């Protein structure tokens, strides 16, 4: 006989942020979120940056509900609904195929979702990728769906499909109009390049403390991979395919100079594309440009590419470097952008050794200091894909299905 349906089920997952080194920008299908070009990213370690999501389904819930960082939010968001619909569709398909589930969770139960970031949302760090990857991971576990899920995460936010995997990840643009081949896959695991490090330079808030630093264009401009096709097809047709092949080789060979140089070039081309959109989009600000100039002076002084910057839809810089360069570059950043207050909180994440800078390096690289320009620096490295948390004490929802009160 068929086992009785479960009354309450709850699952908690975590998912990572990813940073593209070959950027996704421009969609060929706005609803399915199909990109104009393939892209490639590095998944960051969840010890430093992660989203945690608890999904629960119960016979006793009367409506679908969502909480973001403790605040109730609109569950009707079309992208969120698309993810929910797709996971349920896969669950239905799977159940149709086999009846091995002892206690299937009814697909008609209402769900409660709570999600939290371990990094300040106001920092302006892209959180939609980790957010949707986490949502899809948790829902899939809740409904017992396995296998290819990057396609579902993509429906939430394009870059989210790359957060479904750890290490170095490619999102293949695909050819099909239905998007079934627009998927993410791992190019190399996070253990592939143990020396690679990532520094996130969170720059000064535009609107003052507590205001958040959401550097989005005015309301109505549909962001997220851009709603308009870029003005020239040259990038998608010629530049990206060549760069992807080259980038894969640099990663395979752990060639930091090649990797770093191409990362900077592709970031610059992405921002040039934004500028060449009409009306134009500005993501970089004066501080971003000062960090770019600093990185180039640092590399020029050393006579090779030792640090590489990249920027997404905001002014915060992400720096790739190798472990043996972190302490020195960190000291250069500290001298250039001395902390305004809280000097002890300036560097966060993985520990950083101390470095004393040679005089000629200071003279060549550090210009007039700009105090307070960089709020803090997060030191991290490549990491794994989404994780399931087994410990029930880590659920964000209590047994009543409501957010647990923060201690």
Interface residue with ligand PMV among 16, 104, 166, 224 (CB under 6 A) is 224
Interface residue with ligand PMV among 11, 15, 17, 23 (CB under 6 A) is 23
Give yes or no for residue 131 binding ligand PMV (CB under 6 A).
no
Q: How far is the CB of 43 from ligand PMV (least distance, A)?
A: 12
Q: Which C-beta is closer to ligand PMV: that of 223 or that of 340?
A: 223
Tell me 340's DSSP state. Answer: S
Q: Which C-beta is closer to ligand PMV: that of 24 or that of 329?
A: 24
User: Residues near 242 by Cβ (< 8 Å), separated by ≥ 6?
Assistant: none
Give yes or no for residue 129 binding ligand PMV (CB under 6 A).
yes
In total, the chain counts a number of residues equal to 407
Interface residue with ligand PMV among 159, 163, 269, 387 (CB under 6 A) is 159
Q: Which C-beta is closer to ligand PMV: that of 128 or that of 137?
A: 128
Cβ-defined contacts of 104-107 (< 8 Å, 24+): 104/3, 104/5, 104/6, 104/144, 105/5, 105/6, 105/9, 105/57, 105/142, 105/143, 105/144, 106/5, 106/6, 106/57, 106/59, 107/143
Say if residues 8 and 59 touch (Cβ distance below 8 Å).
yes
Give yes or no for residue 39 binding ligand PMV (CB under 6 A).
yes
Give yes or no for residue 385 binding ligand PMV (CB under 6 A).
no
How many Å apart are CA 296 and CA 322, to the nearest integer? 16
How many Å apart are CA 61 and CA 377, to the nearest integer? 42
Q: How far is the CB of 128 from ligand PMV (least distance, A)?
A: 5
Q: For the packed helices 256-275 and 240-252, what is the interaxial angle rounded to 10 degrees?
A: 150
Q: Which stretch binds ligand PMV (CB under 6 A): 69-77, 154-162, 242-250, 334-342?
A: 154-162
Q: How far is the CB of 187 from ligand PMV (least distance, A)?
A: 15
Interface residue with ligand PMV among 128, 267, 273, 316 (CB under 6 A) is 128
Using CB under 6 A as the binding rule, the residues of this chain from 297 to 356 that contact ligand PMV are 312-313
Q: How far is the CB of 354 from ligand PMV (least distance, A)?
A: 33
How many Å apart are CA 398 and CA 176, to the nearest integer? 43
Burial (CB < 10 A; 0-12, 13-18, 19+), residue 237, is: exposed
Say if residues 340 and 166 touch (Cβ distance below 8 Å).
no
Beta strands in 242-342 (DSSP E): 307-310, 317-322
Q: Which stretch binds ligand PMV (CB under 6 A): 16-24, 52-60, 190-198, 210-218?
A: 16-24
Q: Which stretch binds ligand PMV (CB under 6 A): 64-72, 124-132, 197-205, 351-359?
A: 124-132
Say if residues 148 and 173 touch (Cβ distance below 8 Å).
no
Query: Judged by CB under 6 A, how many residues of this single chain contact ligand PMV?
Result: 15
Cis peptide before 279 (omega within 30 of 0): yes
Q: Which C-beta is closer to ligand PMV: that of 39 or that of 305?
A: 39
Give yes or no for residue 151 binding ligand PMV (CB under 6 A).
no
Q: Which residues bind ligand PMV (CB under 6 A)?
A: 20, 23-25, 39, 126, 128-129, 157-159, 224-225, 312-313
């Amino acid at each position: 006989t068929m086992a009785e349906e479960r009354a309450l089920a709850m699952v908690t997952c975590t998912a990572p942020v990813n940073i593209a080194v070959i950027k996704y920008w421009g969609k060929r299908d706005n609803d399915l979120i199909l990109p104009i070009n393939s892209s490639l990213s590095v998944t960051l370690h969840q010890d430093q940056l992660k989203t945690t999501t608890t999904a629960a389904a119960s016979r006793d819930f009367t409506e679908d509900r969502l909480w973001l960082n403790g605040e109730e939010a609109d569950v009707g968001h079309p992208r969120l609904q698309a993810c929910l619909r797709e996971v349920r569709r896969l669950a239905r398909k799977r159940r149709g195929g086999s009846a091995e589930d002892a206690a299937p969770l009814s697909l008609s139960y209402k769900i409660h979702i709570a999600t939290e970031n371990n990094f300040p949302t106001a920092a302006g760090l892209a959180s939609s990728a980790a957010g949707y990857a986490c949502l899809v991971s948790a829902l899939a576990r809740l409904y017992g769906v396995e296998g290819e899920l990057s396609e579902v995460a993509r429906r939430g936010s394009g870059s989210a499909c790359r957060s479904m995997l750890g290490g170095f990840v490619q999102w293949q643009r695909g050819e099909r109009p239905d998007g079934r081949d627009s998927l993410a896959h791992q190019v190399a695991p996070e253990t592939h390049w143990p020396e690679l490090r990532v520094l996130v330079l969170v720059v000064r808030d535009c609107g003052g403390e507590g205001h958040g630093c959401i550097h989005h264009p005015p309301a109505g401009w549909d962001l997220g991979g851009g709603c308009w096709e870029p003005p020239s097809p040259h990038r998608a047709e010629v530049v990206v395919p060549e760069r992807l092949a080259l980038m894969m080789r640099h990663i395979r060979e752990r060639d930091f100079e090649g990797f770093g140089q191409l990362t900077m070039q592709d970031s610059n081309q992405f921002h040039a594309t934004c500028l060449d959109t009409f009306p134009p989009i500005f993501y970089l600000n004066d501080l971003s440009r000062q960090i770019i100039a600093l990185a180039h002076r640092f590399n020029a002084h050393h006579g090779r590419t030792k640090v590489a910057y990249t920027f997404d839809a905001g002014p915060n810089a992400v720096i790739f470097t190798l472990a043996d360069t972190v302490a020195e570059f960190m000291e250069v950043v500290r001298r250039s952008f001395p902390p305004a207050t809280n000097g002890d909180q300036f560097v966060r994440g993985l520990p950083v050794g101390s470095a004393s800078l040679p005089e000629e390096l200071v003279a060549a690289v550090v210009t007039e200091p700009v105090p307070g320009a960089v709020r803090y620096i997060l030191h991290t490295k490549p990491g794994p894909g989404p994780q399931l948390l087994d410990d029930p004490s880590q659920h964000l929802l209590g047994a009543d299905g409501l957010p647990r009160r923060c201690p």
